[in-house]
Amino acid sequence: MRFVRPTYALTGVTVAAALVLGACGSSGGGSSSPGEAVPSAGGSVTYAIDTEPVCYNVHVSQQDITAEVQRNVVDSLLFFDADQKIHPWLATSWETSSDFRTFTFKLRDDVTFTDGTPFDANAVKANFDHIADPKTKSRYASTLIKTYTGTEVVDPHTVRISFSAPSAPFLQAASTPYLGFYSPKTLQENADKLCTEGPAQVGTGPFTVAEYTKGQSVKFVRNPNYRWAPDGAANKGAAYLDALTIRVLPEDSTRVGVLTSGQVDGARAIPPANVATVEANKELGTVRLQAAGGTYQIYLNVTREPLTDQRVRTAIQRGIDLGKDVQAVYFGQYQRAWGPLAPSTPSYDKSLENTWPFDQALSNRLLDEAGWTGRDAEGYRTKDGRRLAVVWPLMPAEYIKDQRQVLGQAIQADLKKIGIDLQRPTFDIGTFVTKGYAGEFDILDSSWARPEPDILRLFFNSTSSAATGGQNASFISDPQLDEWTNAGAATLDTKIRDDVYGKTQKRVIDLAASVPVYVPTTVVGVSRQLHGVTFDASSWPLFHGVWTDKK
C-alpha cells in the first residue's frame, strides 16, 4: 500500500506555529479585534476532511489523514514546531549517543492515559515493542524505527531506546503521531481493533473519542485532565473546546459548500479551483500550507526498457512543460517543484531551481541520439519497428488526489509532442500494488510528507526496495546515492547533512531517476469565529489551543 499513500495531506514547515488564524485579518464581525481575543472555554467545532483513514491505528497506518485525526488522541515524546525546533513533550529531556544508536529519554511523571493508566517507561516500551512486532503489520511506523533493537526501562521515568544502525532522524520520527502512545492496557486488550473499529482508542491526548460513525464522522470530547501540552504551547491546560467533530466529506464541491454556507467551521483540502470562492467569503480565512518532505514526483523505473537509457529519461524530464502544466491544473496555487525535496524541508537544495527548464529541442535531440528516429502512423517515435511507449498506471479513482489524473493528461500531451506514447491503464488497487512492488511498471508517482531529508534514503537508497518496505520507486541502485543517504542518517550536523543531501538531490536530477512535478500544498479554509488554530511541523492542525466565538 505504500505506493498509494495519499500524501496530499501535508507537512508545511513554512507555517509559523504562531499562525493564529484570527490574526490573519480583521473579520467583518465587528466584535473585538482578533489581537485582543482572549481564549475562552466551551463550544464545539466541526472540521471537514476529505478522506477517511483506511486504518485508524497510528502504529499501522501510513496515511497522513490517520496522523492528522489521531493527533487529537495521541501525544508523542517530542514536539517539532514549524521552525523544526525540538521541544520537550512527554519527554522532559533526552540524550543521544555519539553514534546515534542510543537515545535516552527522561519522561514526565504526571501524565496519565484517559483510562487512568499512568504513562511511564513501561508504557513507552510497550508501544515501541508493539510497533516493531511483525504481528502488528505496521506499514509505516516500523520503517521509522527500522533498526530498532529494544527499549530498556532504566527507571520508571527513564527509557533507553536502541538501534543497530545510526538513526539520527529518529528524534524527528519520535515527534510524529505514528510513534505516539496508546495505553498499554489498550495494546494488550484491543490491539486488533485499533485499526478498523474507528478511533475508539485510549491515548494521553487533549481529546477522547466520544462517537464514531464509519464513513461519516468522529466526535471528540475534551480530556479534562490534560495538562501536558508540548513546551511552548499557548494553552497549558485542557483543550478549550467541549467537543470537536471531524466530518468525512470526500466530494470536493460538498466540502466547499458546507464551509461557505457555515455548516462546518473549517475544512481541509480546498481544491485550487475553489480557493478564490472561499477567499471571497468574509466569514472565512484560508491558510496555504506547503508540504515539507518529498515533492510530488513521477519516478522513472531505471530497470525497464526503454527507461534504462538515461537519454530517454532525461528526454522525459525535460520534455514536460511543468511550469505551464502545474500553473494551469492548479490555478497558480501550487508551486512547480525543482527537486525531490520540497523547499520547506531541511537541507533543501535551492541551487537546483531553474537548472533543468523545459527544453523540447533537447528532448528531441536526445531521443534521436538514443536511436528512436522512426515515426509511426500516429506520430510516435519508433526504433526497430517498436513504438516508444511507457506505461504509467492509474490508481482507482478513489485514491487519486489533487486532480493528478488531469495533470497526467497534460504530461501525456507534452510527451506526445516529442513522440512518446505515455499509456495510463487503470488497475484495481491490489493489482496496482502487487505489480508496482514487483517493478512491473515504467513509471510510478507519489508524494511523501515528512519534514526530514532522510526520506531521500527511503526513495533512492538501493536497500530501500519495495520488498523491504521502502519506497525506491525508481528501482535505482547507485553507490553514491547509497553512500550519501546513509551518511545523512548518521548525523544531525547540519553542515554535513546539507552537503550530502544537496549532492543527493542534484544526482537524482542528473540521473533523471525522477521528475519532480509540484510541491504538495493544501489550502485549509477556517471560519473567522475560530481562534488559535495552529499547525505542527507536518502542517496538521492542532485543536488543543483552538477556541470559538460560537458557544
Partner 1 sequence: MTTTQPGLLTGPAPALTAAGRAANRSRRRRRLSRVGVALAGALLVLLALVAIAPGLFTGRAPNETDLAQTMASPSGAHWFGTDQLGRDVFARVLHGARTSLLVGVGSTAFALLGGTVLGLAAALSGRVGDQVLMRFADVLLSLPSLLLALLAVTVLGTGTVNVMLAVAIAFVPGYARIVRAEALVVRRSGYVEAAVGLGLPRPVLVARHVLPNALGPLLVLGAVGFGTSVIYASGLSFLGLGAGPPSPEWGAMLSEGRSFLATAWWIGVFPGLAITVTVVAVNIVGRFAQRRFAGRTS
Q: Which is nearer to partner 1, 427 or 437 (CB)?
A: 427
Q: Which is nearer to partner 1, 393 or 470 (CB)?
A: 393
How would you classify residue 363: left for phi > 0, otherwise alpha for psi between -120 and 50, otherwise beta?
A: alpha
List 147, 225, 310, 405, residue binding partner 1 (CB under 8 A):
405
What are the grid coordinates assigned to 249, written together? 466529506
What are the grid coordinates assigned to 228, written together? 501536558
Whether residue 306 has a cis bond before it, omega within 30° of 0: yes
Under the binding rule (CB under 8 A), the answer on residue 400 touching partner 1 is yes
* Distance of closest approach, residue 418 Cβ to partner 1, in angstroms: 14
Under the binding rule (CB under 8 A), the answer on residue 359 touching partner 1 is no
Buried b (16+ CB within 10 A) or exposed e, 73-97: bbbbbbbbbbeeebebbbbeebeee
Q: Which stretch binds partner 1 (CB under 8 A): 110-118, 127-135, 273-281, 444-452?
A: 273-281
Under the binding rule (CB under 8 A), the answer on residue 96 touching partner 1 is no
Beta partners for residue 105, in sequence order: 94, 159
H/E run at residue 482: helix 479-489
List 188, 216, 253, 480, residue binding partner 1 (CB under 8 A):
253
Within residues 290-329, the interface with partner 1 by CB under 8 A covers 321, 324-325, 327-329
Under the binding rule (CB under 8 A), the answer on residue 263 touching partner 1 is no
How many other C-beta atoms can be found within 10 angstroms of the C-beta atom of residue 114?
20
* Distance of closest approach, residue 7 Cβ to partner 1, in angstroms: 19
Instruction: Calculate the CA 42 to chain-centre distance.
Output: 31
Buried b (16+ CB within 10 A) or exposed e, 495-530: eebbebbbbbbbbbbebbbbbbbbbbbbbbbbbbbb
Q: Which is nearer to partner 1, 274 or 446 (CB)?
A: 274
* Distance of closest approach, residue 459 Cβ to partner 1, in angstroms: 26
Is 152 within 8 Å of 162 (Cβ atoms)? yes
Q: Which is nearer to partner 1, 252 or 376 (CB)?
A: 252
Candidates 287, 304, 309, 323; CA nearest to 523 is 287
Under the binding rule (CB under 8 A), the answer on residue 252 touching partner 1 is yes
Under the binding rule (CB under 8 A), the answer on residue 379 touching partner 1 is no
What are the grid coordinates assigned to 233, written together? 504551547
The Cα–Cα gap between 503 and 458 comes to 16
Under the binding rule (CB under 8 A), the answer on residue 412 touching partner 1 is yes
The Cα–Cα gap between 123 and 113 comes to 10
Beta partners for residue 468, in sequence order: none
Q: How many residues bind partner 1 (CB under 8 A)?
A: 32
By rule CB under 8 A, what string of x and - marks binding of each residue 328-347 to partner 1?
xx------------------
Q: Which is nearer to partner 1, 221 or 410 (CB)?
A: 410
Amino acid of residue 301: N
List 96, 102, 360, 403, residue binding partner 1 (CB under 8 A):
403
Radius of gyration of the chain (CA): 24
Under the binding rule (CB under 8 A), the answer on residue 16 touching partner 1 is no
Please report where in the chains the cell 534504462 appears, as a residue: 308
Instruction: Calculate the CA 272 to chain-centre distance.
Output: 19
Q: Which stretch binds partner 1 (CB under 8 A): 196-204, 394-402, 454-462, 466-474?
A: 394-402
What are the grid coordinates assigned to 345, written together? 524541508
Please report where in the chains the cell 552537503 appears, as a residue: 499
Is 221 within 8 Å of 164 (Cβ atoms)? no
Under the binding rule (CB under 8 A), the answer on residue 277 touching partner 1 is yes
List 162, 310, 409, 462, residue binding partner 1 (CB under 8 A):
409
* Distance of closest approach, residue 409 Cβ to partner 1, in angstroms: 4
* Distance of closest approach, residue 442 Cβ to partner 1, in angstroms: 15
Q: Which is nearer to partner 1, 423 or 480 (CB)?
A: 423
Beta strand 266-267 with 44-49: parallel, antiparallel or unpaired?
parallel
By rule CB under 8 A, what string of x and - marks binding of each residue 155-174 to partner 1?
--------------------
Under the binding rule (CB under 8 A), the answer on residue 256 touching partner 1 is yes
Q: Indicate the DSSP class of residue 118.
A: B
Q: Which is nearer to partner 1, 277 or 382 (CB)?
A: 277
Under the binding rule (CB under 8 A), the answer on residue 406 touching partner 1 is yes
Q: Which stretch binds partner 1 (CB under 8 A): 54-62, 140-148, 272-280, 512-520?
A: 272-280
Within residues 416-445, the interface with partner 1 by CB under 8 A covers 416, 423-428
Under the binding rule (CB under 8 A), the answer on residue 211 touching partner 1 is no
Range 182-189, long-range pairs (CB < 8 A, 24+ positions): 182/59, 182/74, 182/113, 182/127, 182/130, 183/113, 183/114, 183/115, 183/117, 183/123, 184/117, 184/122, 184/123, 184/126, 184/127, 185/113, 185/115, 185/117, 186/113, 186/115, 187/126, 187/127, 187/130, 188/126
List 6, 43, 199, 408, residue binding partner 1 (CB under 8 A):
408
Q: Which is nearer to partner 1, 85 or 324 (CB)?
A: 324
Under the binding rule (CB under 8 A), the answer on residue 273 touching partner 1 is yes
Amino acid of residue 437: Y
Q: Indicate the DSSP class of residue 341.
A: B
* Distance of closest approach, residue 428 Cβ to partner 1, in angstroms: 6
List 198, 237, 371, 396, residue binding partner 1 (CB under 8 A):
396
* Distance of closest approach, residue 410 Cβ to partner 1, in angstroms: 5
Chain residues in the site for partner 1 (CB under 8 A):
252-253, 256, 271, 273-274, 277, 321, 324-325, 327-329, 394, 396-397, 400, 403, 405-406, 408-410, 412-413, 416, 423-428
